Amino acid sequence: MTLLHTAWPAPGAPGTVLGGVAIGELFKTPDAGWPLQRLRAPLLSASAAFLQEVWHTSNPVTSGHSDGIHWRRNVDVLYGVIELPEDACAATGDTSPLQAASQLVYERVFGLLRTQGLPHLWRVWNYLADINGESHGLERYRQFNQGRHTAFVQAQRDTGGQVPAACAIGVAAGPLSVAFLAGTSPLVPLENPRQVSAWNYPAQYGPRAPTFSRAALACPRGQEVLFVSGTASIVGHETLHAGDVAAQCVESVRNIECMVQEANRVARSGRPFSLEGLSHRVYVRHATDADAVQHALAPLLRGAPVVCVQADICRADLLVEVESQAIHPMPAA
């Protein structure tokens, strides 16, 4: 399995497309015959109107549609995408439409994984409109966390410890959009010693803590993949450097560097992960901060590939968030 950043899958690209994401001016993207998440957010660091990130596999694939999920899989990895408009889920009692939609999406994801026999959820990308807005007496990100948590509980899955890497990012408008990678092998969740685990946050951050690990290692056949979740300027459980986007960049990279160190403690590929060996997607709250963010990150990420996107972060006082990943081959047995 490989990840390519392309304007569109290029002729002669290795293997078969498993799935991917389109970012930017999406009305210009061609239709895809494979699972495609559409990230409805402006690109800040590319000359193209849109950018494609594509997962490729060298193995035969099968694909299908199940309960609104477009999915494609090889023998041991599945990539899926589901979008659900919130108005498809009516508010009931204390449950908001977003909470109901979040719960339903994850219930459908877990149902598909059971059916396909790939029980281990590795990485999830969550995008929702107006993430810091408030309705039904609660911030929308906290509503999303409630719905996700309920689905994990009902599926009898861990809500702390053995949980996937993930991000939850705000866009201006559109449906709840979730893409995910899952596999036959268990993930190795990783936590940051500088931070309280997200799933163990105190109640001040909402009725239900977020359900994700700070990073995770997954092992599709012949490879080892490091997924670093959306990472921001948080130490312990508190935001640092409010109002200072450059300082938040520095703190975010410190946290990623800690996750790289944690990964290298348990990685089995024999090749250490490094900041320069990761690819990074950077979410920037204010487009006017794009130059400052890129100037701050360039020396810290040491020439690694970076894609900058304008989007909102899960806390209103966070100005930037970085997610990262890398794939290493496993040594031959």
Question: Is the backbone of residue 327 left (phi > 0), alpha (psi -120 to 50) or beta?
Answer: beta
Does residue 11 have a pLDDT over 60?
A: no
- Distance between CA atoms of residues 248 and 253, nearest Å: 9
Kindly list the domain boundaries of the chain, sorted by start residue.
2-329
Does residue 20 have a pLDDT over 80?
A: yes
pLDDT at position 90 is: 85
pLDDT at position 278 is: 95
Assign 67 a pLDDT band (cuts: 50, 70, 90).
very high
Span 99-125, pLDDT tens digits: 999 999 999 999 999 999 999 999 999
Give the fold, CATH level 3, of 2-329. 60s Ribosomal Protein L30; Chain: A; (3.30.1330)
Out of 139, 191, 262, 321, which one is annotated catalytic? 321
Does residue 13 have a pLDDT over 50?
A: yes
The one-letter amino acid code at 59 reads N
Mean pLDDT of all residues in the chain? Answer: 93
pLDDT at position 3 is: 55
pLDDT at position 15 is: 66
Helix pair 290-301, 245-266: axis angle to 10 deg: 30
Assign 14 a pLDDT band (cuts: 50, 70, 90).
low
pLDDT at position 318 is: 98
Does residue 240 have a pLDDT over 80?
A: yes
Span 187-219, pLDDT tens digits: 999 999 999 999 999 999 999 999 999 999 999
What DSSP assignment string belongs to 12-32? T-SSEEEEEEEEE-GGGSPP-
Backbone phi, psi, residue 331, to 5°: -65, 145
Residue 107 annotated as catalytic: no
- Distance between CA atoms of residues 143 and 254, nearest Å: 29
Q: Which of 129, 65, 53 is nearest to 96 (CA)?
A: 129
Mean of the pLDDT values across residues 238-242? Answer: 98
Cβ neighbour number for residue 101 with a 10 Å cutoff = 23
Strand runs labelled E in 74-136: 77-84, 120-129, 134-135
Name the DSSP class of 10: P
Does residue 80 have a pLDDT over 70?
A: yes
pLDDT at position 7 is: 47
Q: Is the separation of the CB atoms in 73 and 61 below 8 Å?
A: yes
Span 288-316, pLDDT tens digits: 999 999 999 999 998 999 999 999 999 99
CB-side neighbour CA atoms (13 Å) of 25: 7
Mean of the pLDDT values across residues 142-157? Answer: 98
Backbone phi, psi, residue 328, to 5°: -120, 140
Helix pair 97-116, 140-154: axis angle to 10 deg: 30
pLDDT at position 50 is: 80
Q: Is the separation of the CB atoms in 286 and 319 below 8 Å?
A: yes
